[in-house]
Structure 1
């Protein structure tokens, strides 16, 4: 994956949406990008598990987990599966766990924080719908670019 810099993207493309700076990097890749695929769920990561089991084809999984700080929605096993299936990254509006292992994986992961407790699994949630958090609405098919400077969202792939 070529190096991307979100400040350069913002300078060259002032029309991009900039996500509120509330996320921290937890993955082994500091910079990542790809087309957006979405999940909306709350304290139930069943759909996250389902998604990372599918071919990612370089996409970024954007998960609106309601900003919950009561459990983790992604851990080492699901992240390893995401790597094996070709996902570029995960943006989690919620928490992750197993952070020492996540930091070694070839996957971009940005989340609000870490939490040791796992989520419930009841099969609840929605996929491939617009989700809104951190001042931005993420639509499936948009392009997300993330690095240590922040996260930006574009309506199309940027060269």
Structure 2
């Protein structure tokens, strides 16, 4: 996996890379992370996020379309710790997280729109591996995700060796 890179440099060298335009905030203990995308669409219900972090991550990045809701946190300390334990590289969440002081200590990249102390209801809802729209950009499972303090890029082709 690439340890250090700059998304501005990647964007300059790969004009087909697409930026996920949002006011991302960094919450994880890892600033630069990359991996193959696994897409999730869910709204104020993190049942599918919980299910996925319990599976082998294999260095992948979960990209979650949470409808940009800041009313319920889609990730907290327990699920993030499970993601680390199972080898996920990071999560990009168009929604909220919680337990931010603990997330900052974990070896996991976490980008989200904000924080909220409220947990989600578990209704067993959500969809996986479908194209999702994040910040005007379509992300598909299998795309390559590159995230650092400058933002998030996705590309259909690998821009760096994983």
Q: Same fold (TM over 0.5)?
A: yes
User: Aligned with 2:146: secondary structure?
Assistant: strand
Is the 8 Å Cα contact of residues 36 and 140 (structure 1) preserved in structure 2?
Answer: yes
Is the 8 Å Cα contact of residues 22 and 113 (structure 2) preserved in structure 1?
Answer: no
Is the 8 Å Cα contact of residues 63 and 91 (structure 2) preserved in structure 1?
Answer: yes
Distance in 2, matches of 1:18 and 1:73, equals: 22
Q: CA RMSD in A?
A: 0.8
1:135: how far off? 1.4
1:21: how far off? 3.5
Indicate the residue corresponding to 1:44 in structure 2.
Answer: 45
User: Aligned with 2:121: secondary structure?
Assistant: coil
1:156: how far off? 1.5
User: Aligned with 2:111: secondary structure?
Assistant: strand
Is the 8 Å Cα contact of residues 22 and 134 (structure 1) preserved in structure 2?
Answer: no
Is the 8 Å Cα contact of residues 91 and 110 (structure 2) preserved in structure 1?
Answer: yes
Distance in 1, matches of 2:40 and 2:34, equals: 17
**Structure 1 stretches of 4+ moved >4 Å:** none
Is the 8 Å Cα contact of residues 17 and 152 (structure 1) preserved in structure 2?
Answer: yes
After TM superposition, the score normalised by the length of structure 1 is: 0.98
Distance in 2, matches of 1:56 and 1:156, equals: 20
Indicate the residue corresponding to 1:65 in structure 2.
Answer: 66
Unmatched tracts of structure 2, length 5 or more? none
Indicate the residue corresponding to 1:110 in structure 2.
Answer: 111
Is the 8 Å Cα contact of residues 27 and 108 (structure 1) preserved in structure 2?
Answer: yes
1:99: how far off? 0.1
Distance in 2, matches of 1:19 and 1:95, equals: 16
After TM superposition, the score normalised by the length of structure 2 is: 0.96
Distance in 2, matches of 1:133 and 1:32, equals: 18
Aligned length: 159
